[in-house]
Amino acid sequence: MPTLSVHVPSNGSSQELTGCYWYRNEPPLIQPLNQNQMRLFIGLNLPKRERRRIQRAIQILREEDFPVRWIDPANLHITMKFFGEVSNEQVESIEAAMSQVASQTKVFSIILGGFGAFPSIRSPSLIWLGIGASPELRCLKQDLEWAFAECGFKSEMREFHPHITLARVKKKGDAGMFRGLDKLLVDLDFNGELKVDRINLIRSQLSKNGARYSVVSGAKLASA
């Protein structure tokens, strides 16, 4: 799967973030206030037509008896920034930062394709559909990190592995439980394209049947 690296230079170099609107000298990092009311993240939603195409492509995989919980097609998305629990007081600043980044980012498209699992196919925690390497997506991720750092949220320092989660493993077990998964994933055939013209602030509500998502607000990207 292509890897998009998100790196904050420690030596003041701007090489990694050149051309990104929110590039600054590293701001002080402040932990969010401990008044938690909503579990939130920034995400890219998929249109219904693309979600249906994905479902058809993975149908043969869903028919296998793997111990996973399949994500409801309506919930398929790409996570750009996960906040966790945040207070109502923080939502306004999150929305303002999201809107400003969106207004400085032109509409672009990304390629969907390739299947895999984290952390490994033999002992997975989740199964995913991959996202092709995209400088625009990488820059959007960096801009969001810097914008939310200015709101007091800690920047994500790990490599950015954009993906669409298709299934989560119900419980850890013997590696033999996923025998044959590697071949099935290789044999799956799917190629798609997603027009990124909007970013959303999404609420995640946990339940026994998995998370339920609802859009809190959204911001349109600038026209080309």
CATH number at residue 60: 3.90.1140.10
In a domain, 174, yes or no: yes
In a domain, 32, yes or no: no
Q: How far apart are CA 125 and CA 114, in angstroms?
A: 17
Domain that holds residue 205: 38-220
User: 193-207 pLDDT, tens per residue?
Assistant: 999 999 999 999 887
Structurally, the chain folds into a number of domains equal to 1
In a domain, 12, yes or no: no
In a domain, 210, yes or no: yes
In a domain, 24, yes or no: no
Decide if 222 contacts 102 (C-beta within 8 A): yes
User: 53-106 pLDDT, tens per residue?
Assistant: 999 999 999 999 999 999 999 999 999 999 999 988 899 999 999 999 999 999
In a domain, 178, yes or no: yes
In a domain, 14, yes or no: no
What is the 3-state composition of the chain as percent helix, strand, coil, each rounded to the nearest 5?
Answer: 25, 30, 40
Q: Is pTM, for the whole model, over 0.85? A: no
Q: Beta partners for 79?
A: 43
